[in-house]
Amino acid sequence: MARKRDTQSLNPVTVHREFFGVPGAVTVMTVTVSVVYIWYFSCNPEAGCQLPLTGARWKHIFAASTNYRAYLFLDAIIYYALWWSWLAMLYFVIPCPVVQGVELRNGRRLQYPINGLSSFLVTLGTALLVYVANGPKPFLWIADHYFQLAVASVIFSTSQALFVYLYSFRKSPSQNDSNEPVMLALAGNSGNPLYDFFIGRELNPRIGSLDLKFFNELRPGIMGWVLLNVSFAIKQHARFGFVSNSMWLVIVPQIWYCIDTLLFERKVLTTMDIVTDGFGWMLSFGDLTWVPAMYSLQARYLSFNPVHHSTFLAVLIAAMALGSFLVFRLSNSEKNAFRRNPNDPSVKHLEYITTEAGTKLLVSGWWGMARHINYTGDWLYGLAQCLATGFNTPMTYFFAVYFLVLLIHRNYRDECKCREKYKKDWTRYCERVPYMFIPHII
Ligand code: NDP
């Protein structure tokens, strides 16, 4: 009885359902899977790359679905499972610093191994060995079986989400903590199986020391994205005998973005995804399918439709990528350095306001220009990669549109969180820094 009371106070029933509850969850699942599907059948070497705006295009897409046996490919499912297992194995075996996450509602802190970057470098080295031993063949296989691999990742991410949903009903987080109830996400305990499966019921599902949310967040999907990009560049070379400057303008910044994310792996421990959100279908699918399948679209398009930019345009796009990356990186680093130590020489000249919540908010430097200038830099960086694909099709601009929506929604969630946390101090902060994204504009 005492145990039941503990569980209920630790895991209150979720009253407010995000995404408009069950209808929203079903819509998000249907639409996102359909987008992966539609974008593939509307943008490939045979179909060209056109938005499906006519009946004939939709007929083609529906006709393709009847050929599902060609896409449900056992080899792709096996290779996908091997990829995931390979990275899980590196998670355990590569020696690394182990850091503590933020304090949880039960007063505990979980430990996380920071070996994402070393896992990436070992994987990169292994890929190089594979190339030396076998030539481009394995990479061409990956490029040629992009869609089969995407289907395999949907099967894998959905099975994983189902597993963590069912796993969240165990009595305690592990055998060592038999008196401790499993900690659920505050948003994932509505009692509706479909909604909880979608949003994520358990906060930090772990198998032994493998933290599934943390592992999925930056490894199989992000590194899979790099692997796909490299494979598409190799495919372009195999098809046309060159790698176009547009391809370099896409894959170099994207691979650098992945490396940057892995370099700052420990920062992920303080993000909403890790601190607040449960691990369910939304994150599982987002990490394993959406990121690699949709973010590699520009390189995939260029692999069959190379675009050559004049030196002037290429330099302009590269400058845009570099400039926006600097905004993104310098603003994030400034806040991180300030939060770590406000007396650090790099930030001690900055102005800030103190709050009743105890933390300080910067009101000068990058954070004095706009409340989310880091999002602006991030978005422009992504836009530069879309521009690198030229202007023959709007389909390769999908990322810019989607990312804009994501960042606006994220900004809204973050502002709600800060308003709740800082109350009148947040109003004071907004008066000092009135712009959200672009100084003097919005
Ligand atoms: P931010 O790094 O913008 O952090 C927001 C938090 O910072 C606030 O909740 C508040 O937390 C603190 N804060 C806000 N204003 C100030 C200030 N003036 N001074 C000091 N602290 C402040 O949020 P995200 O985690 O959303 O984004 C991190 C990066 O990741 C961004 O650059 C974003 O573009 C990128 N990103 C990329 C994605 C992708 O798919 N590529 C997806 C999502 C994000 P506190 O409670 O501690 O005060």
Atom 16, ligand 1: residue with shortest CA distance: 361
Q: What is the pLDDT of residues 14-26, one digit of tens each?
A: 999 989 999 999 9
- Looking at residue 1, its pLDDT comes to 41
Whole-number Å distance, alpha carbon 15 to ligand 1 midpoint, is 26
Last residue of a domain, one of 280, 308, 336: 308
Q: Within a domain: residue 5?
A: no
Give the Cα separation of 152 and 220 in Å (integer): 13
Q: Within a domain: residue 264?
A: yes
Q: Within a domain: residue 396?
A: yes
Whole-number Å distance, alpha carbon 271 to ligand 1 midpoint, is 7
- Is residue 371 domain-shared with residue 267, that is, in the same domain? no
Question: Structurally, how many domains does the chain consist of?
Answer: 2
Whether the pTM exceeds 0.75: the reply is yes
Q: Within a domain: residue 9?
A: no
- Is residue 135 domain-shared with residue 208, that is, in the same domain? yes
- Is residue 128 domain-shared with residue 158, that is, in the same domain? yes
Which of 275, 360, 375, 381 best tests ligand 1's pocket when mutated (most atoms within 8 Å of CB)? 375
Whole-number Å distance, alpha carbon 331 to ligand 1 midpoint, is 10
Q: Is 425 in the pocket of ligand 1 (CB under 6 A)?
A: no
| 294 conformational bin, left if phi > 0, alpha if psi -120 to 50, beta if neither | alpha
What range defines the domain where residue 107 resides? 19-52+69-308
Cβ proximity of 265 and 114 under 8 Å:
yes
Query: Cβ–Cβ contacts within 10 Å for residue 54, how many?
Result: 10
Q: What is the pLDDT of residues 240-271, one digit of tens each?
A: 999 999 999 999 999 999 999 999 999 999 88
Q: Is 426 in the pocket of ligand 1 (CB under 6 A)?
A: no
Q: Within a domain: residue 265?
A: yes
- Looking at residue 171, its pLDDT comes to 86
- Is residue 267 domain-shared with residue 131, that is, in the same domain? yes
**Residues whose CB is less than 8 angstroms from the CB of residue 9 and which lie 6 or more positions away in sequence, other chains included:** none
- Is residue 384 domain-shared with residue 273, that is, in the same domain? no
Atom 11, ligand 1: residue with shortest CA distance: 418
Q: Is 421 in the pocket of ligand 1 (CB under 6 A)?
A: yes
Determine what percent of the chain falls in helix, strand and coil, rounding each to the nearest 5. Answer: 65, 5, 30
- Is residue 198 domain-shared with residue 325, that is, in the same domain? no
- Is residue 264 domain-shared with residue 318, that is, in the same domain? no
Q: Within a domain: residue 64?
A: no
- Looking at residue 66, its pLDDT comes to 80
Digit-by-digit pLDDT tens for the chain (442 residues) are 444 446 778 899 999 998 999 999 999 999 999 999 999 999 999 989 999 999 988 998 888 878 877 888 899 999 999 999 999 999 999 999 999 999 998 888 999 999 999 999 999 999 999 999 999 999 999 999 999 999 999 999 999 999 999 999 998 887 776 678 899 999 999 999 999 999 999 999 999 999 999 999 999 999 999 999 999 999 999 999 999 999 999 999 999 999 999 999 999 998 888 998 999 999 999 999 999 999 999 999 999 999 999 999 999 999 999 999 999 999 999 999 999 899 999 999 999 999 999 999 999 999 999 999 999 999 999 999 999 999 999 999 999 999 999 999 999 989 999 999 999 999 999 999 999 999 999 9
Q: Within a domain: residue 389?
A: yes
- Is residue 102 domain-shared with residue 206, that is, in the same domain? yes
Which of 351, 354, 399, 410 best tests ligand 1's pocket when mutated (most atoms within 8 Å of CB)? 410
Q: Which stretches of 341-397 are DSSP H helices?
A: 366-369, 373-387
- Looking at residue 213, its pLDDT comes to 98
- Looking at residue 2, its pLDDT comes to 44
Cβ proximity of 40 and 150 under 8 Å:
yes
- Is residue 39 domain-shared with residue 94, that is, in the same domain? yes
Q: What DSSP assignment string belongs to 239-254?
A: HHSS--HHHHHHHHHH
